Amino acid sequence: MTEVDVTLMTLPILLFIWAVDAYVFLVALRWVVRAMPAARGRVWARGVVELADRLPNALRARYPEVPAWLPWLATMLGLLVLRYVLVHSVLLPRSVS
């Protein structure tokens, strides 16, 4: 486990990384819920789907001519690359002393 010095400058970045992780988990939960017919009609399942679909739907609204899978790919790859860059270029170099 890597120790990270949390300062007032790194705390917002760390919170943003956790938000990206939470969204990726929410998307994974959305894919599981959509595969389970018994859970599709429940209120919490619809809430999970609506929350997870916001970013790809915003991309689809901006570029309506693209295939349906492309906004999902762009969203997930963009968030994972952003998380990688923030972790490896902002948090980790400061913790190595």
Q: Would 40 be classed as within a structural domain?
A: no
CA torsion sign for 56, 62, 64, 66 is: negative
Q: Domain tally for the chain?
A: 1
User: Greatest CA span in the chain, whole angstroms?
Assistant: 52
| Per-residue pLDDT tens over the stretch 67-83 | 999 999 999 999 999 99
Flag whether 19 is in a domain. Answer: no
Residue 71 forms part of a structural domain: yes
Inside any domain, residue 81: yes
Residue 94 reports pLDDT greater than 70: no
Summarize the confidence of residues 47-54 as an average pLDDT: 92
Confidence (pLDDT) at 97: 52
* Domain membership of residue 84 as a residue range: 65-91
Residue 69 within a domain: yes
Per the domain annotation, does 77 fall within a domain?
A: yes
Cα distances from 12 to residues 3, 4, 25, 75, 88, in angstroms, run 17, 13, 20, 21, 15
